[in-house]
Structure 1
Amino acid sequence: MKKYIGIAVLSTFIACTNSQQQQSAETDTTSTKTAAATTPVELADPEIENIYNGYISLKNALVNSNPAASKTAAAALVKSLNSHEGCENTALIAEKIAGTDDLKSQRKDFTALSSDVIALFKHADLKAGKIYVQHCPMANNGDGGDWLSSEAKIRNPYYGDEMMECGNVLEEIQTAAVK
């Protein structure tokens, strides 16, 4: 039984590593085009835009493996979430992140937080830019984890420098005119 679990874990790691190499090669050839074409995300509702910006700050702090910055970003996100009706439970998750210095715990709670905000932004009125729903199959002990990004390039908040490019884009949220 242990042998099969080890093989499954190794297979997942190899798949993710191969995905990283393929994506890295693709990114190298298109990075200049993508960087020039990226439009900042702009949402119609200022409250929802504040939530998005706070979420991205938290995601970036986790990418940088900085628990202190994650706490600060999560605390600001709590305020934005509490100001938007229906986001009170999501604010509680952000409070958990803001209440710990443990990076592993912050990343674990980030999974539930991301699930909630992804649902919010799939129904938000996007005026400009694209929001990318991204996924890492290795996060959370192989259960996977999703997050949002303003760019297609993978910057993994679940592993930071350990596996920065592990993941893929699942979906693009964009303005109704582009769809």
Structure 2
Amino acid sequence: MKNTLRFSISAFFALSLAFSAVPPAKAGSLVDSLLDAYLTIQSGLAADDLSTAHEAALHYISAFDSASDSINREKLQAHAEAIASASDIETARKAFASLTYQVIDLVNYMGARSDAPVYMANCPMAFGGEGGQWLQKGETLANPYFGSQMLRCGSLGKQIAGRNKATGQHPSDGNLPATAACGMQADSCQMNCCQSENE
């Protein structure tokens, strides 16, 4: 958790420097393109489809073609490049975990204009119990770290982008109640909600 927080803070400062010279309209369009590619990677990994993840990672990388020259592309593309070149799905999933923190920071810092609701989600069992976050469209959990083994493992957190169903507004804070896959509040979810769908 401490390493995640440290990574997130340093990534936030790197992103703020990287995007400080980008005009807001162009930055919003870039973030939307990156978020769309990221969500395709997420759904590909949740479906155990490495080729979809590869292709979407290449779209993520190419989204920077329209970006300002002042952006540190090498740093911002590194995790997507690792996914695009991954020889197996487990390697892609590890790189995706790092990409997730970057995309969360991008959306929090720059905002996203998409109307489709995008939620934060978390699986406490990912990576040997260290846990892993991801973003996804919709409220039905689609775990990119376990795919078909435990597709619904995890808990749904706050809405980070898109129109809020209740208010019709884009969330600025997104403090929506977190609901676990087992129907419990995320902070009280027991590990048994994260059992294999085949068990």
- Asked if TM exceeds 0.5, the reply is yes
Residue 20 of structure 1: aligned partner: none
Supply the AA of the counterpart residue of 1:172: Q
Contact 2:32 2:112 in 1 (8 A): no
Aligned partner of residue 148 in structure 1, secondary structure: strand
1:78, distance to aligned residue in structure 2 (A):
1.3
Deviation at 1:72, TM superposition (A): 1.3
Aligned to 1:160: 147
Q: Residues 87, 118 of structure 1: CA spacing in aligned structure 2 closer, same or farther, 3 A cutoff?
A: farther
Percent of pairs with identical residues: 27
Partner of 2:38: 55
| Separation in 2, partners of 1:116, 1:96 | 14
Structure-1-length-normalised TM-score: 0.68
- 1-structure distance, mates of 2:89, 2:107: 25
Q: Does 1:64 align with 2:47?
A: yes
Residue in 1 aligned with 2:60?
77
Find the aligned partners of 2:100 and 2:172 in 1 and give their Cα distance: 26
Partner of 2:120: 133
Q: Give distance in 1, aligned partners of 2:72 and 2:82.
A: 18
1:112 to 89, 92, 98: 98
* CA deviations over 1:86-141 (Å, ceiling 9, x no partner): 55413111101111221010001110010111111122334434320110111111
- The 8 Å contact of residues 124 and 131 in structure 2, kept in 1 or not, is answered as yes
Provide the residue aligned with 2:159 in structure 1: 172
SS of 1:169's partner is: strand
Per the TM alignment, residue 169 of structure 1 is displaced from its structure 2 partner at its CA by 1.5
Which residue of the partner structure matches residue 77 of structure 2? 91
The residue type paired with residue 96 of structure 2 is: F
Deviation digits for residues 30-62 of structure 1 (CA, Å, limit 9, x no counterpart): xxxxxxxxxxxxxx8211111011001111110
Cα contact 2:100–2:134 (8 A) shared by 1: yes
Q: Does the CA-based 8 Å contact 1:131-1:148 persist in structure 2? A: yes
What TM-score do you get using the length of structure 2 for normalisation?
0.62
Alpha-carbon distance change, 140 to 90 in structure 1, aligned in 2, over 3 angstroms:
farther
SS at match of 2:118: strand
SS at match of 2:121: strand
Residue 101, structure 1, aligned to residue 87, structure 2: yes
TM-superposed deviation, 1:176: 4.6
C-alpha spacing 1:87/1:172, structure 2 compared with 1 (3 Å)? farther
Partners of 2:79 and 2:118 in 1: CA distance: 22
The number of equivalent residue pairs is 137
- Look up the equivalent residue of 1:108 and give its one-letter code: K
Q: Which has the higher contact order (CA 8 A, sep 6+)?
A: 1
Structure 1 pair 176–56 and aligned structure 2 pair: CA distance change class (3 A): closer
